[in-house]
Structure 1
């Protein structure tokens, strides 16, 4: 075994063959990030540690064999055609609909929100687990939704409740098409990193940043559910040609999963800041009124660079240089972002990922 020291100075035993394989994989994964600065290089070092350990535990996740079959032809598609097919979209539970009305209302009270959530026992149990976890690290035990609303806040808990309700809506995507556990691990990681970045920089709102990160790739799930053959074909094209998935989507379909996901959230009457964060997570505007799109954009780069889970995209997206710089992402800040992340991820996965 070789002793590997991470960027925080922590030492851990890593089999040399896994560490070398991880470094080789990370070199490919960062191929589109040209002229990486020191913070990106530090991220890649952390990524090698995460990936090497995952390789040792889950080697099946890295056994990719390119198909020798001819790539299928793909006809362009109008994203509105997908959203018009109501029978292909997930059915929204009543609690979700009522929460949406509450979050968009001008004067939702703590009692109003507590009453809506309490009608759904599974959502109640779920949120109480969240509030009592390291996600909040509160000094006292919270045993009722009313108390949770009081401590966390009406807007914060309603945003969290609406966003996390989506986790249970996608259950029919075959494992051979997309590993849903890996998908949600990537999504949760992006959400937690966006939340950490929000708190470190003082930009945005922590709950909105988390939910935006959690849902940033929801367009991929809609595409896979409504047009599975097209979606799988695009994935095949992207992997075979070694190019970014979202760029291949735009080329072959005429739109990407970020656009489709944002359109879905708009159809569901999500707050505009969450809609824009999903739509712009690959191509954020530089002069934004809200910070969440920029937070999710940077969090996506970090989450993919760490290699925790997988949304189907193999490569790290090149971050917008101005937005990356605006977050003050120095090597030391990257270390701060990732410090103790393993433990927080383990707890969050246990609470959030549908079984």
Structure 2
């Protein structure tokens, strides 16, 4: 099926639901405020404190294994000082997505979804650092939201999604291909349409649409390749909310790795096997991060 037709189908699907979530206003205002030149730390702290749920999540996240403070941080202002403005944007953006999907447990368990999404975000950031991609924060954020289309299908199209999963029980399958068969589109196109609706930057939208096909990217193939590899890695490390889709992974043989080597020639000297072991070492802390921050999400 042609990509244009799948995007049209996804667009019609997204527009057909009037109760689609929106990014919480406080988080959006925090992100906008951080983009202003000369913004004061107290302004950002006051804005975050205006939303006690957001403030509590920021505190929990800054004390997680991912950020590793030497001593427990108990105030938003201290968190801002410790992390710096760039990381606070990460936290505000992340927490906004937690609020969007809280209570929206569909066919997939939402806690497992967050483990995968955070895993992809963290691993994407590590890969971005290793290849010297200029905006590691962007790689992290896109990694977190790359599968938003999956949540939409899992929540808003539960009956059809259940039929899809029933049809492949015990069989190897690629989820995107089965989605096209059952929906006429896939989570890639649905996520792309959602990202446009939320006014995400164009390179974010592209990476969401093409995280399984980075070779088709025109705006930022390096970003798409980073997210693609992070997604594959997390899937084979059991940070995979689907649980039964077929995935194979050999970093050195992936098309996305070739894209990254074209961007960063120094990767030719990288010990790929050792790098994969380094990434595997981060899996437990990703799981602990989700457990500590998103308490109650996905609880039955």
TM range (shorter): 0.7 to 0.9
Following TM superposition, by how much is the alpha carbon of 1:172 offset from its aligned partner in structure 2, in angstroms? 4.4
Q: TM-score, normalised by structure 2?
A: 0.78
Distance 2:123 2:173 in 1: 25
Instruction: State the secondary structure of the residue aligned to 2:18.
Output: helix
- Decide which of 163, 184, 190 is 1:233's aligned counterpart: 163
1:259 maps onto 2:189 in alignment: yes
Between the aligned partners of 1:204 and 1:233, the Cα distance in structure 2 is 43
More displaced 10-residue stretch of structure 1: 234-243 or 252-261: 234-243
Q: Is the 8 A contact 1:219 1:261 kept in 2?
A: yes
Cα displacement (A) at 1:288: 5.2
Q: Partner of 1:59 in structure 2?
A: none
SS of corresponding position for 1:87: coil
Matched, 1:82 2:13: yes
- Pairs aligned (count): 277
**1:108/1:154 contact within 8 Å kept:** no
Gaps of 5+ in 2: 1-6, 262-266
Q: Would the alpha carbon gap of residues 139 and 122 (structure 1) be closer, same or farther in structure 2, given more than 3 Å must change?
A: same
**Residues 114 and 149 of structure 1 are in contact (CA less than 8 Å); yes or no, is this contact kept in structure 2?**
yes
Task: Encode CA deviations 1:119-148: one digit per residue, 9 max, x unaligned.
Answer: 111211211222233212244554433343
Question: Which whole-Å deviations, capped at 9, do the CAs of 1:226-273 have from their partners, x for residues lacking one?
Answer: 222223233334547632111222344232102211221221123334
Task: Give yes or no for contact 2:192–2:206 (8 Å, CA) kept in 1.
Answer: yes
| Cα distance change on mapping 1:91 and 1:146 into 2, 3 Å | same
Which sits farther off after the overlay, 94-103 or 290-299? 94-103
Local SS of the residue matching 1:88: coil
Q: Does the 8 Å CA contact 2:212/2:228 hold for their aligned counterparts?
A: yes
RMSD: 3.0
Quickly say closer, same or farther: Cα 1:134–1:204, change in 2 above 3 A.
farther
Q: How many Å apart are 1:221 and its aligned residue? A: 1.0
Q: What are the residue-to-residue correspondences of 1:16-95 with 2, within 5 Å? A: 78-85=9-16, 87-95=18-26
SS in 2 for 1:78: helix
Q: C-alpha deviations, 1:51-100, integer Å up to 9, x for none?
A: xxxxxxxxxxxxxxxxxxxxxxxxx9822223324533125433134235
Gaps of 5+ in 1: 1-75
- Is 1:344 matched up with 2:252? no
Q: 1:259, 1:279 within 8 Å by CA — same for their partners in 2?
A: yes
1:122 pairs with one of 41, 44, 53: 53
- The answer as to whether partners of 1:100 and 1:270 remain within 8 angstroms in 2 is no
Comparing 299-308 and 163-172, the one that deviates more: 163-172
Structure 1 residues 267, 194: closer, same or farther in 2, change over 3 A?
same
Instruction: Name the stretch that deviates more: 80-89 or 221-230.
Output: 80-89
Structure 2 match to 1:324: 257
Residue pair 1:113, 1:158 contacting (<8 A) in 2 also: no
Q: 1:288 & 1:315 partners in 2: Cα distance?
A: 29
CA distance in 2, matches of 1:238, 1:156: 41
CA offsets 1:297-353 (integer angstroms, 9 cap, x no match): 1011111111234235612166783422436471121112223x2441242122333
Alignment of 1:146-185 (within 5 A): 146-173=77-104, 177-185=107-115
Inter-partner Cα distance in structure 1 for 2:295 and 2:24 = 16
CA contact (8 A) 1:78 1:254 kept: yes
1:239-278 correspondence runs (5 A): 239=169, 242-278=172-208
Equivalent residue for 1:333, pick from 275, 279, 287: 275
Aligned equivalents of 2:134, 2:95: Cα separation in 1: 19
- Find out whether 1:187 has 2:110 as its counterpart: no
